[in-house]
Structure 1
Amino acid sequence: MSDNTLFIVFIAILGGALRVSTPFMFVALGECLTEKSGRVNLGLEGTLVLGAMSAYAISYHTGSPWLGVLAAGCAGSALGAMHGYICKLPKVNDVAIGIAMMLFGTGLAFFFGKAYIQPTAPRLGSIPLGDWTGNAQLATALQINSLLIIGILVAMAMSWAFANTKWGLIIRMTGDSAPAAMAMGVSVDLVRFLATTAGGFLAGVGGAFLSLYYPGSWNQGLSSGQGLMAVALVIFARWDPLRCVAAAFLFGATGAIGPALQSVGITQGYYFFNAAPYILTLFIMIASAGSKRASRDVPGELSITK
């Protein structure tokens, strides 16, 4: 490849990483919060899809995409609260319930979303960060959405709260040792219920990004498994919110490799490169299975550790 071609590919991957990473980021932050409290929620794929549909429908009917974002968060919270309530019942496995909630959320989205496949809803706007460069390609790549900035700020706030606040300590203690939390007078079920509900809100907002910004439409194949991949991302990030952001950018960049190569006329192996995020997920799961660091950082109350 020539230097100019390499530059175009780099810019395309950079732009793709900024766009594609945002849903990963929100779902990963939601799952990170949930797992920090000692619960696994594999239903976030359904939450993501239902959030996308809810955001698109509300934006279409109200004309306000930000109301759509709020509706997506509320829909995600509802599924998260349902998951949290069911999981506190005796002899209930949170992994099995998560799978059921994934199917339930996806089914709801497909059923109520049929009417919104054709109509066009108002979309979220872009923030131009690269106009000062004078390069049209770079300016286009550096167009970002406000949700990207919000996601980074949420990650910073979560990281600070886990380390410096009473609520952060309670969540970490609940996730590491339920008996210790109960000995301190903490309601383990309530903490996990609230964490799962808040995690669902974040995942729902991630779905709003998909339908209202990139790719910016509603259809039944919108998610492509991003909710499930975010669970692997959290393990890769070792349950650290800031590392979740970095991992989301990595996933976003791998997802942008195929379109970036296609933009310069390289079509051979296109579908293989499109599968890069799924291959990365597989490698992460294999590597994490024997990782001493992951074993050290994993919350002790997670069902996957028992």
Structure 2
Amino acid sequence: MSAEQWLILVSGIVGGALRVGVPFLFVSLGECLTEKGGRINLGLEGVLVLSAMAAFGASYLSGSPWVGVLAAAAVGALLATLHGLLCALPRVNDIATGIALMLLGMGLAFYLGKPLIQPQAAQLPAIPLGFWSDAPAVRSALQINPLLPLGVLLALAMAWGFTHTRAGLLVRLAGDSAHAARALGYSVPGIRLAATAAGGCIAGLGGASLTLFYPGSWNEGISSGQGLIAVALVIFARWNPLRCVGAALLFGGAGAIGPALQSVGIGWGYHLFNTLPYALTLLILVLSCRPGQIVPGSPTELSSNR
């Protein structure tokens, strides 16, 4: 390949990592916050799909993509709150409830979103990072989602908050020792409900990035399982918000290899490269989730109660 082709290839992978990684980032941060409080939410796939539909619909009806972003965050918080309320009931299993909420969210999105498959909604304005290049392909590849800086700032805020704020310490306490939290007079169900709702709100921003930036449309296969992959991504990041940023970019880059190769005329193995995020997920689960082994960094309540 020529130097220009190499530049286009590298720009395509880097730009693709920054675009494709945004939903992974928000959903993984949302799940990280939820699990830090001692609760698992496998329903984030449903949150992602329903919030993506809500974002597209609100943007289409209002003409403003930022209204769509707010709608996605609100819908994500509502569905996650339902999950938190159900899980607070006696003898209710987090995982089973999460799967049920995932099916509910996806079903609602498919039903309510059928009129939105054809229309076009207002999209989020891109941040042009390829202004330094004269190559149109490079400039096009480096069009960055404006929600990405928000996700990075949110990861920094979460990492700082878990160690330097009372709210963050309470979330960690509920996730590491529910008995200690109760002994200190705190409501563990209340803390977990707040963490779950906030996690759903954050995950909803990932849905907004799907329909309002890349790929920028609504259809029933919009998420491709990214909500479920993000659960494995949190394990890979060891429940560290800052590591979630790197893990999201890694998964995003893996998903961008196929399109980047196609942009320089290499079409062989396109569909094979598209399976890389799923192969990485399986590899992470095989290496991290072994019988009788506690993953370093995992909240104690997750390993003791589930």
1:290 deviation in Å? 4.1
Kindly indicate whether the alpha-carbon contact (under 8 Å) linking 2:12 and 2:142 is maintained by their aligned counterparts in 1.
no
Q: Structure 1 residues 300, 26: closer, same or farther in 2, change over 3 A? A: same
Question: How do residues 229-268 of structure 1 correspond to structure 2 at under 5 angstroms?
Answer: 229-268=229-268
Q: Which residue of 1 aligns with 2:180?
A: 180
* Aligned-residue offset at 1:305: 6.3
Q: What TM-score, normalized to structure 2?
A: 0.96
Structure-1 residue corresponding to 2:93 = 93
Q: Is the 8 A contact 2:80 2:199 kept in 1?
A: yes
Structure 1's unaligned 5+ residue stretches are: none
C-alpha contact (below 8 Å) 1:17/1:250 kept by paired residues: yes
CA distance in 2, matches of 1:277, 1:158: 25
Equivalent residue, structure 2, for 1:119: 119
Q: Per-residue displacement from partner, 1:151-180 (whole Å, max 9, x unpaired)?
A: 000000000000111111100010001001
- Kept in 2, the 8 Å contact 1:17–1:252? The answer is yes
What's the counterpart of residue 143 of structure 1?
A: 143
Counterpart in 2 of 1:192? 192
8 Å CA contact 1:21, 1:248 repeated in 2: yes
The 2-side partners of 1:11 and 1:145 are apart by: 15
- Cα distance in structure 2, aligned partners of 1:95 and 1:304: 14
% identical equivalent positions: 59
Structure-1 separation of matches of 2:60 and 2:214: 16
**Number of the residue aligned with 1:154:** 154
Alignment partner, residue 225 of structure 2:
225
Q: Which residue of 2 aligns with 1:73?
A: 73
| Distance in structure 1 (CA, Å) of the matches to 2:28 and 2:288 | 16
2:67 and 2:154 map into 1 onto residues whose CA distance is: 19
Counterpart residue number, 1:214: 214
Q: Is the Cα contact below 8 Å between 1:39 and 1:303 reproduced in 2? A: no
Contact 2:21 2:248 in 1 (8 A): yes
Structure 1 residues 134 and 294, CA gap change in structure 2 (3 angstroms): farther
Query: Given the alignment of the two structures, is residue 202 of structure 1 paired with residue 202 of structure 2, yes or no?
Result: yes
Mapped partners of 1:122, 1:224: distance in 2: 23
Which amino acid letter does the alignment assign opposite residue 183 of structure 2?
A: A
Name the counterpart of 1:279. 279
Preserved CA contact (<8 Å) 1:40 1:303: no
1:4 positional shift? 3.6
Distance apart, 1:304 and its partner CA: 7.5
**Contact map agreement 1:11 1:138 (CA 8 A) in 2:** yes
Write the distance in 1 (CA, Å) between the matches of 2:175 and 2:65.
35
Which residue number corresponds to residue 166 of structure 1? 166
Cα deviation for residue 28 of structure 1 reads 0.3
Distance, in Å, in 2 between the alignment partners of 1:186 and 1:295 is 27
Contact 1:178 1:301 in 2 (8 A): yes
User: Counterparts of 1:162 and 1:19 in 2: how far apart (Å)?
Assistant: 27
- CA apart distance, 1:293: 9.8
CA distance, structure 2, for counterparts of residue 104 and residue 87 of structure 1 = 15
Is the aligned partner of 1:36 residue 2:36? yes
**Rounded Cα–Cα distance in structure 2 between residues aligned with 1:38 and 1:101:** 18
Q: Work out whether residues 38 and 192 of structure 1, in 8 Å CA contact, stay in contact via their aligned partners in 2.
A: yes
- Between the two proteins, the alignment pairs up a number of residues equal to 306
For structure 2, list consecutive stretches of 5 or more residues without a partner in the other structure: none
CA RMSD of aligned residues (A): 1.7
Report the TM-score, using the length of structure 1 for normalisation: 0.96
CA distance in 2, matches of 1:144, 1:163: 31
Which secondary structure does the structure 2 equivalent of 1:120 belong to? coil
For residues 268 and 285 of structure 1, the distance between their equivalents in structure 2, rounded to whole angstroms, comes to 28
Write the distance in 2 (CA, Å) between the matches of 1:87 and 1:224: 26
1:221-278, Cα deviation, whole Å (9 max, x unpaired): 1000000000000000000000001000000000001111111222222111011100
The code of the aligned residue for 2:148 comes to: L
Who is 2:53 aligned against?
A: 53
Counterpart-to-counterpart distance in 2, 1:63 and 1:292 = 53
Kept in 1, the 8 Å contact 2:238–2:297? The answer is yes
Tell me the secondary structure at the aligned position of residue 91 of structure 1. Answer: coil
1:105 matched residue in structure 2: 105
Tell whether the 8 Å contact from 1:155 to 1:245 is kept in structure 2 after alignment: yes
Quote the Cα distance in structure 2 between the aligned partners of 1:234 and 1:98: 16
| SS of equivalent to 1:208 | helix
Q: Given that residues 56 and 121 in structure 1 are in contact (C-alpha distance below 8 angstroms), is that contact kept between their aligned partners in structure 2?
A: yes
Amino acid at match of 1:19: R
Work out whether residues 39 and 192 of structure 2, in 8 Å CA contact, stay in contact via their aligned partners in 1: yes
Structure 1: distance between partners of 2:119 and 2:135: 34
TM-aligned CA distance change 1:26 to 1:131, over 3 Å: same
